[in-house]
Amino acid sequence: MSDLLIKPAGTSGKVHDITPQSADWGYVGFGLYRLRPGEVASEDTGEREVILVLVEGKAEISGAGRDFGALGERMNVFERLPPHAVYIPNGRHWQARATTHCTLAVCSAPGKGGYDAQVIGPAGIGLEERGKGANTRYIHNIAMENRDVADSLLVTEVYTPQGNWSSYPPHRHDEDDYPNMTYLEESYYHRLNPAQGFGVQRVFTEDGSLDETMAVCDHDVVLVPRGHHPCGAPYGYEMYYLNVMAGPLRKWRFQNHPDHDWIFQRDSKA
């Protein structure tokens, strides 16, 4: 199995605990809790800022000395409702107590103390359609650069209909060359509907030094340290993924693969 494909460690509790050390990179961290009603998750942020995303279910969330109360509305991620999300800065503590069955994502990156703890969703998060034809997908921009809510983190979630492609045409953001490109590590947390389905993700560089194609299942995570990273949803199965990106600059600038950029150019003129 590819080192880039991370399977969940069970079906309850903290099933993902990806750190810069375990991923062998410098910025992105991703954790995932699957909690039963009454169960509690809590962590110190240390030197890292955190965005908590209620992927599904409800929880009472507090952090950095503030009580945000009962949050959550989306009971199934494929309802496509905008997610409830909370920002917690570095040097703080947070806690979430599940009031229903709950899936809680913990997105992290280096913090600089520039923002206060706050609720950052669902207000301000709309469903955006992107792409054309079998490249159509639907986006919730939770914390992309158009939202001034974090020091380092870029967080978004994407719904890819059955039979469609996403993160396509293939593109990369693995060079610190702003404004042409920014260096951003990225993780993909995948869900499938129905849950027994699978999707496909390829991570590859133009020189062929990295070329991995993975079948992803419900609750899998794919790491993208560099290179292009398209994914596809087979007929019969809708795909969701939650992206976490971070690097030295909180901006998303990428370049399409030169062999496939013609697709973008054609569709942008249509």
Residue 46 reports pLDDT greater than 80: yes
Q: How many CB atoms lie within 10 A of CB 96?
A: 26
CB contact burial 102-127 (16+ within 10 A = b; e otherwise)? bbbbbbbbbbeeebebebbbbeebee
**% of the chain residues with pLDDT over 90:** 98
The whole domain housing 168 covers: 5-269
255-269 pLDDT, tens digit each: 999 999 999 999 887
Query: Do residues 260 and 170 make contact, with C-beta atoms less than 8 angstroms apart?
Result: yes
Q: Is the pLDDT assigned to residue 1 strictly greater than 80?
A: no
Residues 6+ apart with CB under 8 A from 223: 3, 4, 6, 18, 23, 25, 185, 186, 187
DSSP 8-state secondary structure symbol assigned to residue 39? -
Please tell me the total count of domains within the chain: 1
68/145 Cα distance (integer angstroms): 24
Summary mean pLDDT of the chain: 97
Average pLDDT (156-170) is 98
pLDDT at residue 270 above 70?
no
Q: State how far the Cα of 189 lies from the Cα of 220, in Å rounded to an integer.
A: 6
| Residue at 24: amino acid letter | D
CATH number at residue 246: 2.60.120.10
pLDDT of residue 269: 79
Q: What amino acid occupies position 83? A: P
User: What is the spatial distance between Cα 207 and Cα 61, in angstroms, rounded to a whole number?
Assistant: 46
